[in-house]
Amino acid sequence: EAQVTQNPRYLITVTGKKLTVTCSQNMNHEYMSWYRQDPGLGLRQIYYSMNVEVTDKGDVPEGYKVSRKEKRNFPLILESPSPNQTSLYFCASSRGLAGPYRAPDTQYFGPGTRLTVL
Q: Which residues bind other proteins (CB under 8 A)?
A: 4, 33, 35, 40-45, 48, 50, 56, 59, 88, 90, 92, 97, 99-112, 114
* Closest of 2, 37, 4, 1 to residue 111, by C-alpha: 4
For residue 68, give the DSSP letter: -
What is d(CA 49, CA 14) in angstroms, rounded to the nearest whole number?
Answer: 28
Between 14 and 41, name the residue whose CB sits nearer to other proteins.
41
What is d(CA 35, CA 43) in angstroms, rounded to the nearest whole number?
Answer: 6
Shortest Cβ 42–other proteins spacing (Å): 4
Between 13 and 107, name the residue whose CB sits nearer to other proteins.
107
Shortest Cβ 106–other proteins spacing (Å): 4
Between 15 and 104, name the residue whose CB sits nearer to other proteins.
104
List b or e across 2-22, with b for residues whose CB sees 16 or more CB atoms inside 10 angstroms: eebebeeeebebeeeeebebe
Between 16 and 33, name the residue whose CB sits nearer to other proteins.
33
Please check whether residue 20 is in contact with residue 113, taking contact to mean a CB–CB distance below 8 angstroms: no
Shortest Cβ 63–other proteins spacing (Å): 20
